[in-house]
Amino acid sequence: MALFDDVLTGGNWVTGLAIGLGAVVVLPLAAPILRPLAKTAIKGGILAYRGAAGMFGGLGDLVAEAVAEGGEEVVEEALEVAVEAVV
């Protein structure tokens, strides 16, 4: 726990050296395991993005259509009110 506290409070040069050496030793050993996991996670993110884009792609058209219909109704109601005011 003292090592973790040293890292959070700025530590000292021994803590930094220990972490650096640990990274130099551990990363080459873990790379063959971590690389496929990272690639799988990236591919999953790309697939999720494409799925969401496809799912929400038609939503813009639906909203635009609803706004257009609403606008037409507002114009029609305004014309009816104007005609009644003139008559």
pLDDT tens string 13-71 = 777 788 889 888 888 888 888 889 999 999 999 999 988 888 777 777 777 888 888 88
Quickly state the pLDDT bin for 4 (edges 50, 70, 90): low
Torsion, Cα 13 15 16 21, to 10 degrees, reads 120
Q: What distance in Å separates the CA atoms of residue 78 and residue 74, rounded to the nearest whole number? A: 6
Joined together, the tokens standing for residue 68 give: 């257009």
Which residues have a Cβ under 8 Å from the Cβ of 6 and sit 6 or more positions away?
A: 12, 15
